[in-house]
Chain A
Amino acid sequence: MSDLHRTPLYDLHLELGAKMVPFAGYEMPVQYPLGVMNEHLHCRAQAGLFDVSHMGQVILRGANAGAALEGLIPQNVLGLKEGRQRYGFFTNDQGGILDDLMFANRGDHLFLVVNAANKEADLAHLRAHIDGVEEITDRALLALQGPAAEAALKAIAPALPDMVFMDVATVASDFGELWVSRSGYTGEDGFEISVAADQSVAFAKALLAQEAVEAIGLGARDSLRLEAGLCLHGNDIDPTTTPVEAALVWGIQKTRRTGGERAGGFPGADIILDQIANGASRTRVGLRPEGRAPMRAHTMIFASEDATDPIGEVTSGAFGPTLEAPMSMAYVDRDLAATGTTLFGEVRGKRMPVQVVDLPFVPNTFKR
């Protein structure tokens, strides 16, 4: 694994007994001695600390940055208030999703967090269209998630202000300046914290020293985000899926839709706005298989036990430790996407019944 990148917390992961795996060009912890199942449950019960330093941290400066970013994503950037963050996605000319991201208005600049696997492509895409794109390479990124997250962060960063879901703040601390957002990707209340790389180990250790906080690996990160109904780029969304197919229309603000103040003007706008008006032929849904067997990615979905042609495919599937049952996300024909519809997934040559259900599988606990 010598050609892989390491995050500033690499040695700490080893010290904690992590099992390291290659992920998006990095050596990352997939699990710690606690194990995937218990890490997952611990995060929902108390607080979990995740190293997400492999993700890209990007700053856009300049008076025109907001308008320029609106040329690449179908979100309302100019209307985002200072101190607030929003979910977004880069689209291509076919209306597909190049990557999803978080962007925040931090006063004199926009702060973006993009996926590790797409970081280089995103940077090239941004630089081709926007001046003053700055990649942050001297800061680690950690996520602290779960009901005990606020108390744990406040204990070591007492200047933490009152924040609600999707607020961002700059917080002075013993570990230097923290760039904090009240967000995450587990469905739990919590924070993502950008901290100077040379302070990040001390910061992580101060969190882990608290009874409520355990280190959580990529394994549990995946089951947590899936229970929360959240998409993983490369699995559930990709350049061939549109935001309408992906059931992410909630993430396109009215200002950017037909009739809005700044309607269109992003790649693939014609296709996406047409699909918002008329629907798409397939849509992302949640599926609950009967029994305990997980239905994993690429399981084909059929309308009946004996139908010849598939009407859909699973994009993510796992056993949900909190749900205590298997769960999958899939794209299915829109006529068969109604909640309560019974479909069949083919596992090891057998057609197993599944129910279309509403997402998320486990209700979120965001602090609104």
Chain B
Amino acid sequence: MKFTEEHEWLKVEGDILVVGITEHASTQLGDVVFVELPDVGREVEKGEEIVVIESVKAASDILAPLDGEIVEVNEAIADNPALVNEDPLGAGWFFKMKVADLSVIDGFMDADAYNDFTG
């Protein structure tokens, strides 16, 4: 599993990248009450705001970590946003995307580097 500076985690499953938010991010956000997911099939660019999360505190965005195509979204968190807090690294995943070259994820932080990053 790799981590971005925007507090997303990235996991490779076959030729697909699974994306969610980190435990640190879910704690900082507080109780999540609403998630708006992108449409399946959407072509996204790195840095594009593609998910809206509303917590009891505020609204925030999740950015596309890489260029690619959204191939699946986690409808379960749209129905039950609390999953994002309960299991951010598992059942609370956000979307799966197809990217041109999966090897580029090696450039992101590993768990140790991310822990240092969040200090």
Using CB atoms and an 8 Å cutoff, list the residues of chain A in contact with chain B.
Answer: 31, 35-38, 219, 223, 291-294, 296, 318-319, 321, 326, 348
Closest to B33 in A: A319
Using CB atoms and an 8 Å cutoff, list the residues of chain B in contact with chain A.
Answer: 30-31, 33-34, 36, 52, 54, 56-59, 81
Partner of A223 from the list B36, B54, B56, B59 (CB cut-off 8 Å) is B56
**Bound form: Cα–Cα A36–B58 in Å:** 12
Partner of B81 from the list A292, A296, A348 (CB cut-off 8 Å) is A292
Partner of B54 from the list A36, A219, A293, A321 (CB cut-off 8 Å) is A293
Report whether B34 and A292 are in contact in the complex, using a CB–CB cutoff of 8 Å. Answer: yes
B102 CB, min distance to chain A CBs, angstroms: 31
Known: A292-B81, A293-B36. A36 touches B30 (CB 8 A): yes
Across-interface contacts of A35 in B (CB, < 8 A): 30-31
Report whether A36 and B31 are in contact in the complex, using a CB–CB cutoff of 8 Å. Answer: yes
**Bound form: Cα–Cα A348–B36 in Å:** 11
Closest to B56 in A: A36
Report whether B57 and A219 are in contact in the complex, using a CB–CB cutoff of 8 Å. Answer: yes
B54 CB, min distance to chain A CBs, angstroms: 5
**Bound form: Cα–Cα A326–B56 in Å:** 10
Across-interface contacts of A31 in B (CB, < 8 A): 30
Across-interface contacts of A36 in B (CB, < 8 A): 30-31, 56-57
* A-B pairs with beta carbons under 8 A, tally: 40
Report whether B30 and A219 are in contact in the complex, using a CB–CB cutoff of 8 Å. Answer: yes
Partner of A37 from the list B31, B52, B58, B59 (CB cut-off 8 Å) is B31
Across-interface contacts of B58 in A (CB, < 8 A): 296
Across-interface contacts of A37 in B (CB, < 8 A): 30-31, 33, 56
Additional pairs, 6, CB under 8 Å, beyond known A35-B31, A37-B31, A293-B52: A31-B30, A36-B31, A37-B56, A219-B30, A292-B81, A319-B33
Closest to A325 in B: B33
Report whether B59 and A219 are in contact in the complex, using a CB–CB cutoff of 8 Å. Answer: no
**Bound form: Cα–Cα A270–B31 in Å:** 47
**Bound form: Cα–Cα A35–B52 in Å:** 21
**Bound form: Cα–Cα A293–B58 in Å:** 11
Closest to A19 in B: B30
B80 CB, min distance to chain A CBs, angstroms: 10
Supply 24 A–B pairs (Cβ within 8 Å), ascending by A.
Answer: A35-B31, A36-B30, A36-B56, A36-B57, A37-B33, A37-B56, A38-B31, A219-B30, A219-B57, A223-B56, A292-B33, A292-B34, A293-B52, A293-B54, A294-B33, A294-B54, A294-B59, A296-B58, A296-B59, A318-B56, A319-B34, A319-B54, A326-B33, A348-B52
**Bound form: Cα–Cα A180–B115 in Å:** 48
**Bound form: Cα–Cα A292–B31 in Å:** 13
**Bound form: Cα–Cα A321–B31 in Å:** 10
A35 CB, min distance to chain B CBs, angstroms: 6
B36 CB, min distance to chain A CBs, angstroms: 7
B62 CB, min distance to chain A CBs, angstroms: 13
The CB with the most chain A CB atoms within 10 A, among B36, B56, B59, is that of B56
Closest to A36 in B: B56
A303 CB, min distance to chain B CBs, angstroms: 25
A58 CB, min distance to chain B CBs, angstroms: 32
The CB with the most chain A CB atoms within 10 A, among B33, B52, B58, B59, is that of B33
B56 CB, min distance to chain A CBs, angstroms: 4
Across-interface contacts of B36 in A (CB, < 8 A): 293
**Bound form: Cα–Cα A196–B97 in Å:** 60
**Bound form: Cα–Cα A348–B52 in Å:** 10
Closest to B27 in A: A35
B98 CB, min distance to chain A CBs, angstroms: 26
Across-interface contacts of B59 in A (CB, < 8 A): 294, 296
Closest to B79 in A: A292
A134 CB, min distance to chain B CBs, angstroms: 38
**Bound form: Cα–Cα A108–B22 in Å:** 59
**Bound form: Cα–Cα A318–B81 in Å:** 15
Across-interface contacts of A296 in B (CB, < 8 A): 58-59
Across-interface contacts of B54 in A (CB, < 8 A): 292-294, 319
B75 CB, min distance to chain A CBs, angstroms: 13
